[in-house]
Structure 1
Amino acid sequence: MELTTVWFVVIAFLWTSYFFLEGFDFGVGMLLPVLGRDDVERRVVINTIGPVWDGNEVWFIVAGAATFAAFPEWYATLFSGFYLPLLAILLALIIRGVAFEYRGKRDDARWRSRWDKAIFWGSLVPAFLWGVAFANMVRGVPLDADHEYAGTLADLLSPYALLGGLTTLILFVLHGAVFLALKTSGTIRFRARRIADLAVVAAIAAGGSFLLITQVQYGKPATWLTAAGAAAGLLLAGAANRRGREGWAFIGTGAAIVLAVATLFTALFPDVLPSTLGSGSLTTANAASSDYTLTIMTWVAAVFTPIVMIYQGWTYWVFRKRISTSQIPVKRPVP
């Protein structure tokens, strides 16, 4: 297998891991005002991802860095053509990260309410725009002969791209609801399960439509299997959630996200960013770095990727127990 193909697979793995892990972070953030009826419940919701959210974002940094190093033409064209959506994503992630850190710095209801809104919008905006961005990568964008973006912002907001954004938004809400049901006990757990019951129906409708259009217009024979597997994952999640089997439900939503992203990357290959103008498409061949660079990167990835995975797995194991409102100390006014 050529190194360019190897690194396409590696980058697909990094983005898939990011969406699987950060997906439930986004879902939890979007569900914060829905499931948290008071400050104690909101603290429980936030604490479910408190030890892991920043580690999950590492996959985004690594995926972006790997794209830059392995396929610099791809990276450059993405950040020039998709500048406004990617800037909105970065700003939302920054605001969301600050909100997690600053929310508890003052014992003031208005102060916490403002940061709760920042967590909600800082989760919703990336959840939607990542779907828009990846749908455009599969569909293709106007690229000239020099591989430069020749379109406008409106070209990125096609019905197919907006459906992609809606799909990731709903999938992440479902993923987050199932994660909250898995990580909490008491009333929050049962509220999360009820929301998951509703979200799985919406996810099947939106995700099924998006993947069917993707398969018909851009798919390959192999993507029938991954798309069908994603649908099966959603059905598993719905059935397991109704029976109170949150672990299996989480496996189902995780499988749906992983296989949906695999469908997109498989449909895209060997292109990395097709052109709708008939020429100027970026492929794994013309967008890649030199073989020497890719060889060094391969050795680095082979050493450090397992270390990161082992450390993050250990983190999840340490913080595996459920939490509830009874574990949140009540703040009492100083006399």
Structure 2
Amino acid sequence: MNHEILANIWYFVLVLVWSIYLSQEMFVTGVGMLSLTFKVDDISFKKINESVGTFWDGIQVWLIVAIGGLFATFPKAYGLTLQALYIPIFLLLFSVIFRGTSIELIYKSDDSKWQKFVSKIWGISSFILIFIEGIYLINLIVGLPIKNQLMTENFLTIFSRASLLMGLLLVLSAISLGYTWIKLTLGRDFKIISKVSILWISGAAVFVVALIFLSLTNEYKLFEVGLFSTNKLLWIMPIASMILYILQFVFHLLEKYVLMFISIVLGLSLVLFSGFTASFPFILPSTISLNDGLLIVDAASSFHTLKIISGVSLVFLPIVIGYQLWKYISFGRRI
């Protein structure tokens, strides 16, 4: 295995890590956003808090692996994204901190004002967290205005139509997953927002996915170059993601919450893999000129470094996965 092959493998491993992270993060942030519709002194609010309080901390390991893995395996890309996305990354960091502390500290005081204040922080930080992650990911996919490995335009360019749509998609998917998680852990009869409201949210997600792919196709021309232009079978991924988002809407109508949960997770994962596959072989495309993009092989760490990171990951990632599986099996039963 040479340097180029190992670098390409790590590129898609990081995409997989993001998919694993978001599949867990979204139901926690979704529950957080839904908590805004409840009164803190309601016993239902305490049950909602308990339904995710056991899981949020272990999920952050995957976020560390996703962003820290980019630094370890592709330091040039990490440096450029940190420079371009400085403010969103800090917002992401603060939202992670406030979301976690609010879940843990909300009942550390019996004062009702304290509980109401912290509950608002939980819901708002959950929204900011998942929305910023959508902006971060889409900018990795479509690229940045870079030339000679330097940002050439104002950072506001990162808030493009596509990035806002991706942030919206994660928010809508998170709310649907949060709704599904509550139904699965607290029972079908547990009252949250109305079924009609979630139907609107599920339907809007289908529409937003379509708009994202249209933007990637027409505005950024991502599917006209790279792997999608040479291998038509890859079009199965974006088509399947659209079908899965349609199915999650149908499964909600039928109240098949397990299937709805799976459809959203797989649908979003295929959206990510479609986008990152379309931008291959660039780990960070340039929106100015194709030739100014940062290639995967050029941005990768040395072959020796990648081998060490691969060896460490093969030892510790199974431990993390095993611990999380044990945690979901032990504490994921209905409350």
TM normalised by structure 1 equals 0.90
Q: Which runs of 5+ in 1 are unaligned?
A: 324-335
Q: Which residue of the other structure, out of 235, 259, 262, is the alignment partner of 1:224?
A: 235
What is the deviation of 1:248? 1.2
Distance in 1, matches of 2:121 and 2:314, equals 37
What is the deviation of 1:187? 4.3
Q: Which residue of the other structure, out of 257, 266, 275, is the alignment partner of 1:264?
A: 275
Equivalent position of 2:147 in the other structure: 144
Confirm whether residue 42 of structure 1 aligns to residue 45 of structure 2. yes
Contact 1:223 1:267 in 2 (8 A): no
Deviations 1:245-268 (CA, angstroms, capped at 9, x unpaired) = 211111111111211111121112
Contact 2:40 2:115 in 1 (8 A): no
Distance in 1, matches of 2:192 and 2:167, equals 28
Deviations 1:153-174 (CA, angstroms, capped at 9, x unpaired) = 2211122222222122212212
Contact 1:103 1:111 in 2 (8 A): yes
Distance in 1, matches of 2:192 and 2:80, equals 45
Q: Which residue of the other structure, out of 176, 179, 196, is the alignment partner of 1:177?
A: 179
Q: Which runs of 5+ in 2 are unaligned?
A: none
Amino acid at match of 2:60: E
In structure 2, the CA distance between the partners of 1:25 and 1:223, relative to structure 1 (3 Å rule), is farther
Distance in 2, matches of 1:204 and 1:38, equals 35
Contact 1:81 1:148 in 2 (8 A): no
Provide the secondary structure at the position in 1 that maps to 2:283: strand
Q: Which residue of the other structure, out of 97, 100, 103, is the alignment partner of 1:97?
A: 100
Equivalent position of 1:161 in the other structure: 163
Contact 2:102 2:118 in 1 (8 A): yes
Distance in 2, matches of 1:190 and 1:127, equals 21
Moved more, 310-319 or 215-224: 215-224
Confirm whether residue 296 of structure 1 aligns to residue 308 of structure 2. yes
Equivalent position of 1:209 in the other structure: 211
Distance in 2, matches of 1:36 and 1:177, equals 17
Provide the secondary structure at the position in 1 that maps to 2:47: helix
Deviations 1:35-66 (CA, angstroms, capped at 9, x unpaired) = 55743111111211111111111100111111
Provide the secondary structure at the position in 1 that maps to 2:334: coil
Confirm whether residue 237 of structure 1 aligns to residue 239 of structure 2. no
Moved more, 185-194 or 309-318: 185-194
The 4+ residue runs of structure 1 with deviation greater than 6 A are none
Contact 2:51 2:185 in 1 (8 A): yes
- Aligned pairs for 1:1-335 (under 5 A) are 2-35=5-38, 38-145=41-148, 147-185=149-187, 187-188=189-190, 191=193, 193-216=195-218, 217-219=221-223, 220=228, 221-278=232-289, 279-323=291-335
Distance in 2, matches of 1:37 and 1:105, equals 13
Distance in 1, matches of 2:279 and 2:181, equals 30
In structure 2, the CA distance between the partners of 1:35 and 1:113, relative to structure 1 (3 Å rule), is closer
Distance in 2, matches of 1:178 and 1:259, equals 20
Amino acid at match of 1:214: L
Amino acid at match of 2:159: L
In structure 2, the CA distance between the partners of 1:185 and 1:38, relative to structure 1 (3 Å rule), is farther
Distance in 1, matches of 2:150 and 2:194, equals 45
What is the deviation of 1:244? 2.3
What is the deviation of 1:302? 1.4
Contact 1:131 1:165 in 2 (8 A): yes
Moved more, 212-221 or 314-323: 212-221
Aligned residues, how many?
322
Deviations 1:180-239 (CA, angstroms, capped at 9, x unpaired) = 221112643564755432221111111221123324521224552111221222222222
Distance in 2, matches of 1:73 and 1:229, equals 33
Moved more, 78-87 or 258-267: 258-267
Deviations 1:73-117 (CA, angstroms, capped at 9, x unpaired) = 011111111001111111111111111121111011110111111
What is the deviation of 1:142? 1.3
Deviations 1:257-291 (CA, angstroms, capped at 9, x unpaired) = 21111112111211111112324321111111000
Provide the secondary structure at the position in 1 that maps to 2:88: helix
Amino acid at match of 1:34: T
What is the deviation of 1:137? 2.0
Contact 2:144 2:158 in 1 (8 A): yes
Equivalent position of 1:332 in the other structure: none
Distance in 2, matches of 1:39 and 1:110, equals 14
Moved more, 227-236 or 246-255: 227-236
Contact 1:33 1:42 in 2 (8 A): no
> Identity of aligned pairs, percent?
29
Amino acid at match of 1:116: S
